[in-house]
Chain A
Amino acid sequence: MILDLLFLIFIQPLVISIFFFLAPVLKYFFQNKNEKLILNLVIFSLITDLIFIKPLGFFLLITSLALFLISLLEKFLGTTYFYQKLIYLLIFNLIFLGLFLYLTTKQIFVPFLLKFLIFNIIFQLIYLFIRK
């Protein structure tokens, strides 16, 4: 968590197309570690609010909504295999980025969405692969 925190504080302001805090949150989501998931979600999303200059609670709201929707999906689909995780990541990022773009610019602009989606999914896959 400390490493993630340092990464978020020192690297996130320089890299603005990837939301770093989503990767550890998703890691704990897939590992079913509920307490760590909630702790990371609350602390990291509030720091991200400050980095992206959003009203406090903005990222907590959209992340928890996207997480809630994919956790409902978990009732019907497992998270064991790589392709299953990829489906989760796709749906999660689509909901998250759709909400982020809509609430920020009042429109969902497809080229932006695609660019953000590709960058974020690649980063999340690398993170989940390295920090199993």
Chain B
Amino acid sequence: MLRKKIKNIFFVLLASLLFFWFSQKVYAQQEVFFNLSLGWQNLIKNLWQKIFPQTEDDAYKEKYYELLQELAKLKLTLKQIKETEIITNREKYLPNLTEAKILKIDPLGYIYAENPGIKEEAIVLDQNWSLVGKVVKVSKNYLVVASLNLPGIEFNTANIDGELLGLGKTISNGFLEVNFIDPKLKIKINDFVLTYGDDNYPSGFLVGTVNKINKTQLGQQIIVKLSFNLDSGKIYLIK
């Protein structure tokens, strides 16, 4: 019995190896399958939302949360807001901005969205102009975005004054870690963190805010809370 089980599973393993290899060769066929699958998943998601719509209570809670967020924004000084607007290059990128509807969010941090005619490596932002990630794969009907929720993405970071903080590395669950920051640099909780240089991402995009500061022997380490929010169901791409 056991020998038969091992033999059967081994046979499936060999067959699956062949099938996997073959399916990657015939990629065009899969595009149709996956497009149908994404459409189906989107349909189910919408169906569940219709069956269990938001209650009035939830709507009030959401409104309360939004008001709290607005209040927090108002607490920022006008100077800070102006500086953020300058650094995030709104005027430079606004004419090239395209909207896309999110189809599915992967557990690891990949986002599947409709393709509005964008090329690979395009920068992805949310409605508040925060950096979401980069397009890694473009298909005929959908595109795949590697968001900053994906662990292990490295890029240089800067503070609001454009000074280099250090190399940041995403650590999943909406956080970024920046190690070995110059101890002379003054950093406060809730300070803005932006991209620096033009390595992995163009400079000047808002990444998040400082959540935790650790003093170490080799300098400072900060944990940054990523600020992008995908609740609107839309992403914005720079052509």
Determine if B33 and A13 form an interchain contact, defined as CB atoms under 8 angstroms apart.
Answer: no
Q: Which of B8-16, B92-100, B194-202 contacts A (4 or more CB under 8 A)?
A: B8-16
How many contacting A-B pairs (Cβ < 8 A)? 105
Query: In the bound complex, what is the Cα–Cα distance between A9 and B21 (angstroms)?
Result: 25
Cβ of A61 under 8 Å from chain B: yes
Residues of the A chain whose Cβ atoms lie less than 8 Å from the Cβ of B40: 13
Stretch of A83-91, A104-112, A123-131 on the interface side: A104-112
Q: How far is the CA of A109 from the CA of B170 in the complex (A)?
A: 11
Tell me if A75 and B2 are in contact (CB < 8 A).
yes
Known: A14-B45, A55-B24, A112-B151. A34 touches B5 (CB 8 A): yes
B1 interface contact, C-beta 8 A: yes
Interface residue B205 (Cβ < 8 Å from any Cβ of A): no
A55 touching B30 in the complex, CB below 8 Å, given contacts A38-B8, A41-B12, A112-B172: yes
Q: Contact: A56 with B30, CB < 8 Å?
A: yes
Chain B hits for A101, CB < 8 A: 108
Decide if B16 touches A61 in the complex (CB within 8 Å): yes
CA distance A116 to B151 in the complex (A): 15
* B64 touches A (CB below 8 Å): no
Give the residues from 1 to 45 in chain B that come closer than 8 angstroms, CB to CB, to chain A. Answer: 1-2, 4-6, 8-10, 12-13, 16-17, 19-24, 30, 33-34, 36-38, 40-41, 44-45
For the complex, is B107 an interface residue (Cβ under 8 Å from A)?
Answer: yes
- A72→B10 CA distance, assembly (Å): 10
B144-175 CB mask vs A (1 if < 8 Å, else 0) is: 10000011100000000000000000011100
Question: When the two chains form the complex, which single residue of B6, B38, B45 contacts A53, counting CB atoms closer than 8 Å?
Answer: B38
For the complex, what is the distance from the CA of A68 to the CA of B15, rounded to whole Å?
13
Give the shortest distance, in Å, between A64 (CB) and chain B (any CB).
4
Show 8 residue pairs from A and B whose CB-CB distance is below 8 angstroms, ordered by the A residue.
Answer: A38-B12, A57-B20, A61-B20, A68-B13, A71-B5, A105-B108, A111-B151, A112-B151
Q: Report A's interface with B, CB cutoff 8 A.
A: 9-10, 13-14, 16-17, 29, 32, 34, 37-38, 41-42, 50-53, 55-58, 60-61, 64-65, 67-68, 71-72, 74-75, 101, 104-105, 107, 109, 111-112, 116
With A56-B33, A72-B6 known, 14 other A-B pairs at CB within 8 A are A13-B104, A32-B1, A34-B8, A50-B34, A50-B37, A56-B20, A57-B20, A57-B21, A57-B23, A58-B20, A109-B152, A109-B172, A111-B173, A112-B108
